[in-house]
C-alpha cells in the first residue's frame, strides 16, 4: 500500500515538473505580455464560434488560424471615392497660385518677379537650401535659354520642380508572404489613421491584411486601430498595454503567416523622438519583424505636413534608427506647407509614396509628382 502511495506521489511531482517546463517555455517569447493578452479581432462575417464579444474582440492564447479571413470584406461593398490631389490642396495651392498670377501679369522678368517667386517657395516651406538651389537652376536656364517672358519662366520653374521629385513609387508587397510594412513617426502625425486607410484600400483590392498594434504605450491607439480593422475586415493583433511592441509585431507576423495574409501593417509607438530608447526600440522592432515568416518590404516614415520644416528634423532622427523606404505625408489637406515635398526630396532623398488628404477612409492618395506639380500650377 505504501509503495502505491509513493508511486502516485512521484507521478504527481513528475507531471507538475513537465507542466512547469512547458508553460515557461511557451511564455518565453512573449514574457512582457500577460497570458491571454493577445487579441485578434475577427471578421464580422467569420465563423459564429469565434463571434465577437460585446467589445468586438476575441481573446486568443496563441496566434492561430481561427479567424476565417476571406479576401473581400463586407465593408468594401460601399465603394470609396478617391479624392483628386488637386481638390484637396486648397491652402498649399493658394500660396503658389497668388504668386504665379502676379508673376504672369508682369511684362518682364525683373527683381520683383524673382522676389515673389522666392517668397512663395519659402512660404510654402520648401526651405531655404532647396529654394536657393531651385532658383539658381531656374536662373541658369532662363539666362542660357534667353527666356524673357514670365509664362516661359513659370514653365521652367515647373520643370525644375518636377525634376526634383521621384515617383510615383509603388508600395512593395514583396515576393515572400506576408509582406511586412512598418509605420514609424512621432505621436499624432497620423500613423494609425494611415494604416486604417491603407487597410481599407488593400482589403478592397482583395488582399488579406493583418493590423498589428505595436503602439503599446497608448491604449487608445490600439483601440483606434481595432476599430479600423473591424470596419475593413482585417485581422487585428494587439498586446497588453505597456507590453513589448516587438512581441506584438512578432505575433502579428506569425498570425499573418498562419492565416496566409498578404500584408501585415504594423503600427509603432511614437513617443518623443528625443528619447533615444524610442529609436533603440524601433531598431529592435525592425529586427524582430524580419525574424519570422515574410519580409519587411516597407518602412514608412509618417510626417505631418502642417509641421513643415520641423518634420525634417524628426525625419533625420528616424533615418538613423531604421532604414526608411518612403514617406507618408499626412494632413496635406489642411496645410499651406505643401513645399515640404521638395524639402523631403532634397534633404532626405526618400520618395514620398502616399499623401493623406483628410480623415476618412478614402482620403489617402498615391503620390504622383506630375499630378502634384500640376495642381500647384493650376490656374483656377
188 is an interface residue for ligand GDP by CB under 6 A: yes
User: In whole angstroms, what is the distance from residue 9 CA to residue 143 CA?
Assistant: 98
Smallest gap from residue 301 Cβ to ligand GDP (A): 11
- Cα–Cα dist 119/283, whole Å: 40
Taking the complex as a whole, the smallest distance from the CB of residue 377 to ligand GDP amounts, in Å, to: 23
Q: Does 191 bind ligand GDP (CB under 6 A)?
A: yes
Q: Is 315 in the site for ligand GDP (CB under 6 A)?
A: no
> What's CA 135's distance to the chain center, in Å?
32
> CB 328 → ligand GDP: shortest distance, Å?
9
Q: Which of 284, 369, 367, 373 is nearest to 327 (CA)?
A: 367
The single residue among 182, 357, 375, 376 that binds ligand GDP, judged by CB under 6 A, is: 357
| DSSP designation for 368 | -
- The residue (of 166 and 359) whose beta carbon lies closer to ligand GDP is 359
178 versus 270: smaller Cβ distance to ligand GDP:
270
CB closer to ligand GDP out of 203 and 335: 335
By C-beta, is 63 or 339 nearer to ligand GDP? 339
Residue 90 class from Cβ within 10 Å (0-12 exposed, 13-18 middle, 19+ buried)? middle
Closest to 369 (Cα-Cα) out of 208, 181, 197, 162: 162
Q: Is 297 in the site for ligand GDP (CB under 6 A)?
A: no
Q: Using the rule CB under 6 A, is 214 a contact of ligand GDP?
A: no
- In whole angstroms, the minimum distance from the beta carbon of 224 to ligand GDP comes to 6
Options 58, 73, 192, 297; binder of ligand GDP; rule CB under 6 A: 192
Query: Contact region for ligand GDP (CB under 6 A) — 45-53, 188-196, 277-285, 286-294?
Result: 188-196
With binding defined as CB under 6 A, does residue 359 bind ligand GDP?
A: yes
Contact 282, 88 (CB under 8 A): no
Which position has the grid cell 476599430? 227
- Member of 333, 351, 352, 367 binding ligand GDP (CB under 6 A): 333
* Residue whose CB is nearest to ligand GDP in the complex, by number: 356
Name which of residues 115 to 154 contact ligand GDP (CB under 6 A).
none
CA 155 to chain centre: 34
State which residue, 100 or 318, has the beta carbon closest to ligand GDP: 318
Residue whose CB is less far from ligand GDP, 224 or 246 = 224
Residue choice 189, 259, 261, 361 for contact with ligand GDP (CB under 6 A):
189
Give 30 or 191: the residue with its C-beta nearer to ligand GDP.
191
List Cα–Cα distances, 155 to 126, 150, 151, 243, in angstroms: 18, 9, 6, 54
Could you tell me which residues come within 8 angstroms of residue 228 by beta carbon, excluding any fewer than 6 positions away?
A: 192, 193, 195, 196, 197, 199, 200, 211, 234
Number of residues that bind ligand GDP (CB under 6 A): 19
Helix (H) or strand (E) holding 3: helix 2-28
Check residue 201 for interaction with ligand GDP (CB under 6 A).
no
- 327, 319 contact by CB (below 8 A): no
**Least distance (Å) between residue 225 CB and ligand GDP:** 8
The residue count for the chain: 380
DSSP states along 316-356:
HHHHHHS---EEEEE-GGG-S-TTHHHHHHHHH---EEEEE
Smallest separation (angstroms) from ligand GDP to the CB of 214: 11
334 makes contact with ligand GDP (CB under 6 A): yes
What is the footprint of ligand GDP within residues 253-282 (CB under 6 A)?
Answer: 270
- Strands 235-238, 209-214: parallel, antiparallel or unpaired by DSSP? parallel
Closer to ligand GDP at the Cβ: 89 or 348? 89
Burial class (CB in 10 A: 0-12, 13-18, 19+), 258: middle
**Candidate list 58, 131, 177, 193; residue touching ligand GDP; CB under 6 A:** 193
State the residues that interact with ligand GDP by CB under 6 A. Answer: 185, 187-193, 221, 270, 330-331, 333-334, 356-359, 363
Amino acid at each position: 500500500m505504501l509503495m502505491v502511495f509513493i508511486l502516485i506521489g512521484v507521478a504527481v511531482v513528475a507531471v507538475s515538473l513537465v507542466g512547469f517546463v512547458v508553460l515557461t517555455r511557451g511564455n518565453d517569447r512573449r514574457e512582457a505580455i500577460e497570458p491571454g493578452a493577445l487579441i485578434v479581432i475577427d471578421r464580422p462575417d467569420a465563423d459564429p464560434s469565434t463571434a465577437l464579444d460585446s467589445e468586438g474582440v476575441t481573446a486568443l492564447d496563441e496566434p492561430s488560424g481561427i479567424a476565417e479571413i476571406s479576401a473581400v470584406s463586407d465593408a468594401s461593398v460601399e465603394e470609396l471615392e478617391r479624392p483628386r490631389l488637386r481638390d484637396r490642396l486648397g491652402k498649399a495651392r493658394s500660396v503658389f497660385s497668388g504668386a504665379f498670377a502676379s508673376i504672369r501679369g508682369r511684362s518682364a522678368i525683373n527683381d520683383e518677379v524673382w522676389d515673389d517667386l522666392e517668397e512663395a517657395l519659402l512660404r510654402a516651406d520648401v526651405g531655404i537650401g532647396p529654394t536657393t538651389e531651385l532658383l539658381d537652376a531656374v536662373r541658369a536656364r532662363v539666362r542660357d535659354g534667353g527666356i524673357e517672358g514670365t509664362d516661359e519662366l513659370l514653365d521652367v520653374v515647373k520643370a525644375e520642380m518636377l525634376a526634383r521629385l521621384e515617383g510615383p513609387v509603388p508600395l512593395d508587397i514583396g515576393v515572400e508572404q506576408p509582406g511586412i510594412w512598418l509605420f514609424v513617426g512621432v505621436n499624432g502625425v497620423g500613423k494609425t489613421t494611415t494604416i486604417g486607410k491603407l487597410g481599407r484600400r488593400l482589403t478592397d483590392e482583395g488582399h488579406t491584411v493583418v493590423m498589428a498594434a505595436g503602439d503599446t504605450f497608448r491604449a487608445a491607439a490600439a483601440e483606434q486601430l481595432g476599430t479600423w480593422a473591424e470596419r475593413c475586415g482585417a485581422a487585428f493583433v494587439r498586446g497588453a498595454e505597456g507590453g513589448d511592441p516587438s512581441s506584438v509585431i512578432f505575433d502579428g507576423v506569425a498570425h499573418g503567416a498562419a492565416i496566409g495574409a498578404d500584408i501585415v501593417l504594423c503600427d509603432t509607438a511614437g513617443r518623443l523622438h528625443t528619447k533615444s530608447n524610442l529609436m533603440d526600440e524601433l531598431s529592435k522592432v525592425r529586427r524582430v519583424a524580419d525574424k519570422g515568416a515574410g519580409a519587411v518590404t516597407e518602412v514608412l516614415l509618417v510626417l505631418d505636413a502642417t509641421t513643415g520644416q520641423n518634420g525634417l528634423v524628426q525625419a533625420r532622427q528616424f533615418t538613423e534608427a531604421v532604414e526608411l523606404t518612403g514617406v507618408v505625408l499626412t494632413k496635406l489637406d489642411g496645410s499651406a506647407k505643401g513645399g515640404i515635398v521638395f524639402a523631403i526630396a532634397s534633404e532626405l532623398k526618400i520618395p514620398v509614396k502616399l499623401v493623406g488628404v483628410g480623415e476618412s477612409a478614402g482620403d489617402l492618395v498615391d503620390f504622383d509628382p506630375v499630378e502634384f506639380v500640376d495642381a500647384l500650377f493650376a490656374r483656377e
